[in-house]
Structure 1
Amino acid sequence: PTPKSMKIAAPALLLTLAASSSSAGAFSPRSLSSASAGASQSRRPFFPPYDDGDGLSMVSQQAEQPPTDKSNYPTYGEWSPTSWTAKEDPLSPEFDDDERLSSALRRLHRCAPLVFAGEVRSLSEKLGRACRGQGFVLMGGDSLETFDDFHVDRVRDTFRVLLQMALVLTFGGGLPVIKVGKMAGQFVKSASTPDGFGTVETRDGTTLLSYVGDMINSSPFDPESRRHDPFNMVEAYHQSSQTLNILRAFSAGGYASMSRLHAWNLDFAEETEEGSRYRKFASKVDESLRFNRAIGIDTNDPVFERVDFYTGHDCRCLHYEGALTREDSISGNYYDCSAHLLVLGDEAKDPNCAHVEFARGVNNPLAVRVTEGWTPSDLVGAVNALNPLNEVGKIAVKVHMSPEAIQNNLPGLIRAVQRESLSVLWIADPGYGDVREAEDGCLLSRDFEGIRSQLRAYFDVMETTGAHPGGVSLDMT
């Protein structure tokens, strides 16, 4: 399917899942493990203010007063937003102009946070409730953002599709849906390679660095475009800022109002079977809203008019992430203010790698993408390294496997986590092995039946192991 048809069919797939949830028990609230509810809620350690070399302490704009007593802060090793530079880092890009890199990082240091500590804490609290079976995460967006594709309509349409899917899940599953857009920062390819950003591409005898995303280099096959340019990070910041402004306007400005259920349907879906099914579904919700109004419930209340919407992206370029890390002077915690949620991949297997070193020190919730090569000991080690205090709502595991691997490997991973009494939120991440290239060679798509099979396998395993199916993550283009 094309990106358009993917967006048409996505709500339809979730309609199917919601309809079958009563028999499969997929959405019934269920605690993750007996230890989840009692996991530590201790505060994170205090670290010195981040200084960019000019004596400027980077403090959250929400902060007002520093903590008065830091003696009770737990410690688990020295950490700073730049301590990752002392660790092995085969995945981050190499910039050949140190002066240009320093200039770009200084500019990012002075930029305002894209997200704020209070927003991140709000997401963590909701993810904690989802860990206990009281919520469901919906994450979706582009697999790779680009500078050229940015447009208000594109952001709006992605937001609108996520609202549609969230409505289906909320009404069909009976659980609050936590909406996370994979946007406003997804400018680096998420697929890891053995050589990270050092991979090369050869055409007609000419070898250049591979294109890895607009945050690092550009796609045209010429030496200047493929060079790693640190000022691409600055451009990525400014585009992310625009995207977040649009999302905040839509989520709080009335666009997400429940009274606009029918208007959410995309124009190109009007004449499709999926569009028809959505309209029928929206009509049922309309009936419920009319009933609420009839018994005196004010449906003009802000709870019906706005939604909480969060962002997340793959944590690949640590220069960018570190430069946007800020200390909240109220709590003493550090937050990566580039996004609410950060996603790690296979690099999380190594507790001594640069990405784990960086991620363990920020107070953002983290998602770890687990593929078929992961063992129970790999997962337990990663969770312990990233969440040594076993905080509820800190770690999500995105299950990115074939249906067969989900059935064969996932139960062992879940049981290992349960044995160690670790707090983990399990999220389905379908699309494994289903990427296909269109005839023109320019468009990648995913087989929808493959995605459906992976989701069904995921819900089956959640049911048999007693784990809570905590969410789904979809690449919509």
Structure 2
Amino acid sequence: MSSTHLLRAAMAAHQPEWYSLDLLRTVLGELAGRPGLVRPAACATLRGELSRAGRGEAFVVQAGDCAERFADASSGTTRRKIDQFDALTARSVAAGGIPVVRIGRIAGQYAKPRSTPTEQLADGRSVPVYRGDAVNGERPDPADRRADPARLLDAYDRSADVLDVLDGHAVGGGEPVWSSHEALLLEYEESLVRPDREGGRLGSSGHLLWVGDRTRQLDHAHVDFLRSVRNPVAVKIGPSVAPGDVTALVRALDPQHETGRLTLIARMGRDRVREHLDRVLAELGERARDVVWLVDPMHGNTLVNRAGQKTRVVGDMVDEIDDAAGVLSTHGCLLAGVHLETTPDPVAECVATHEDLVARSPLPEYRSACDPRLGPTQAATVVEHAARAARRTRTI
């Protein structure tokens, strides 16, 4: 076990190399004594809403930042994100004809898995890669990129700030926006486990917790963590997943066949979704109907333009949505929703067509801390398209 981890590090990939084990122990002890960020009753309510979506009675829009920044955990920024959900909800209801379950990548999406542990700067220096504000700073400076356990306390505080605004909005009569994030930092997640109403374990860091395509292995500590908590949980599955492994994940994470417990988020890519999703569904058989199916049309379609920026093509996204919906309906399953990286800011991080990739000039207003996000108009277009595609799976 690495000297810079405390919990199950031998089985957990994409964990930071914290600079101080003593400070990490102190921080985790502090977090363990704080109130849970979300309540068991709220998680149970969301589980019921996801069950409705799995039956075709609601449509899930899960959307928000690729990587949240601490600096954006203000009431004003959070309200703008709620306003974007209001706009997306209106477009979805008009296109799909059913209520919307609104789940944000919000109030906890402060850590990201990265492909490499370091990055090389233009001046030839190598520094640790930015892993999200819960781990280190975005500024390419060795001191700022040090994995600092004290940032976990900031992650808790900023999540609490955002949740206060979301709760106030719901109490004031607004449609709720539920919180979700990738449960990546296991030491943080474990420190915030609290008892649920039935004596089980609740991951109190967020309403819905997911593991990504890089940490979904059955013998992996991240899957063990999801198995141990009673939240609604999700797993992202990419084109490399073996169909048998998906079946094993469904059995492990939803042994009681409880619709609303487990969401699978397919992120195969436009050119691969038909073949790979078909194989997964064929292997699952009847068990495929126990799962809430979302499509993430972004992560399998990341490209690099001629200016060297990561970007995504909106046309690829709508094609993947259509293909995923078609494959699901062939197997008697419903497309229950869509998972997107979005921002209410007027950014230019994604493009409309492949022709837009050839320009040598960098995209203007590219502000993402990690991956390219959809701006407001683009997000509305994709959500409306997804709602229509989902409607078709309910009528076939």
Q: Is the 8 A contact 1:347 1:353 kept in 2?
A: no
For the pair shown, the structure with the greater C-alpha radius of gyration is 1
Alignment partner, residue 163 of structure 2: 244
CA displacement, residues 43-81 of structure 1 (integer Å, 9 cap, x when unaligned): xxxxxxxxxxxxxxxxxxxxxxxxxxxxxxxxxxxxxxx
Measured after TM superposition, the shift of residue 87 of structure 1 is 5.2
AA aligned to 1:319 is E
Partner SS state of residue 127, structure 2: strand
Could you tell me how far apart the structure 1 residues matched to 2:17 and 2:190 are?
A: 15
Q: Give, in angstroms, the shift of residue 424 of structure 1.
A: 0.8
**Which residue number corresponds to residue 201 of structure 1?**
119
8 Å CA contact 2:60–2:336 kept in 1: the answer is yes
Amino acid aligned to 1:175: I
SS of structure 2 residue aligned to 1:225: coil
Q: Does 1:458 align with 2:377?
A: no
2:107 to 179, 184, 193: 184
The residue identity in structure 1 corresponding to 2:341 is: D
Matched, 1:224 2:143: yes
SS of aligned partner of 2:271: helix
Is the alpha carbon distance of 1:162 and 1:220 closer, same or farther for their aligned partners in structure 2, counting shifts above 3 Å? same
Corresponding position: 1:142 with 2:65: yes
Q: Distance between the aligned counterparts of 2:61 and 2:21, measured in 1?
A: 40
Instruction: Compute the displacement of 1:227 (Å).
Output: 1.0
With normalisation by structure 2, the TM-score equals 0.79
**Separation in 2, partners of 1:447, 1:178:** 26
Distance in 2 of aligned mates of 1:161 and 1:431? 18
Q: CA deviation at 1:451?
A: 1.5
State the alpha-carbon separation in 1 of the partners of residues 315 and 323 from structure 2. Answer: 12
CA distance in 1 between counterparts of 2:318 and 2:209 reads 25
- Whole-angstrom distance in 1 between the partners of 2:57 and 2:109: 28
Q: Deviations over 1:452-477 (max 9, x none)?
A: 11112122222222211111111113
**Alignment counterpart, residue 201 of structure 2, candidates 306, 313, 334:** 334
Structure 1 match to 2:272: 405
Within 5 A, what are the aligned runs for 1:71-470? 85=8, 88-189=11-112, 191-193=113-115, 199-203=117-121, 204-253=123-172, 305-328=173-196, 330-347=197-214, 349-420=216-287, 423-435=290-302, 445-470=311-336
Check conservation: 1:84, 1:355, Cα contact below 8 A: no
Matched residues in 2 for 1:91 and 1:165: separation? 33
2:319 partner amino acid: S
Normalised TM-score (structure 1)? 0.66
Amino acid at match of 1:463: S
**CA, structure 1 residues 93+86, in 2 after alignment: closer, same or farther (shift >3 Å)?**
closer
Measure, in 2, the Cα distance between the counterparts of 1:405 and 1:121: 35
Amino acid at match of 1:342: L
CA displacement at 1:131 relative to structure 2 = 1.9
Distance 2:338 2:280 in 1: 18
Structure with bigger RCO (C-alpha 8 Å, 6+ apart):
1
Are 1:348 and 1:368, in contact at CA under 8 Å, matched by a contact in 2?
no
Q: Kindly state the Cα deviation for residue 362 of structure 1 after the two structures are TM-superposed.
A: 0.5
Equivalent pair of 1:336/1:364 in contact (CA under 8 Å): yes
Equivalent position of 1:27 in the other structure: none
Distance 1:390 1:177 in 2: 23
State the secondary structure of the residue aligned to 1:397. Answer: strand
Q: CA deviation at 1:326?
A: 0.3
What is the Cα-based RMSD across aligned positions, in Å?
Answer: 2.3
Q: Counterpart of 2:364?
A: none
- Percent identity reads 29
2:392 corresponds to 1:473: no
For residue 368 of structure 1, report the CA deviation from its aligned partner: 0.8
- Structure 1, unmatched stretches of 5+, are 1-81, 254-304
Offset of 1:128 from its aligned partner? 1.7
Aligned pair count reads 338
Do the aligned partners of 1:349 and 1:378 also contact (CA within 8 Å) in 2? no
Which amino acid counterpart does residue 316 of structure 1 have in structure 2?
L
Map 1:63-78; keep pairs closer than 5 Å.
Answer: none
In the TM superposition, what whole-angstrom CA distance separates every residue of 1:347-402 from its partner, at most 9, and x where no partner exists?
Answer: 55422211111111000111111111112112111222222333221111111122
Q: Do the aligned residues in 2 keep the contact of 1:83 with 1:358 (CA within 8 Å)?
A: no
Report the CA distance between 1:242 and its aligned residue: 0.9
Counterpart Cα distance in 1 of 2:8 and 2:300 = 33
The answer (yes or no) to whether the contact 2:82–2:177 under 8 Å persists in 1 is no
The answer to whether the 8 A contact 1:347-1:356 is kept is no
- Post-superposition offset of 1:86: 6.9
Question: How far did 1:139 drift?
Answer: 0.4
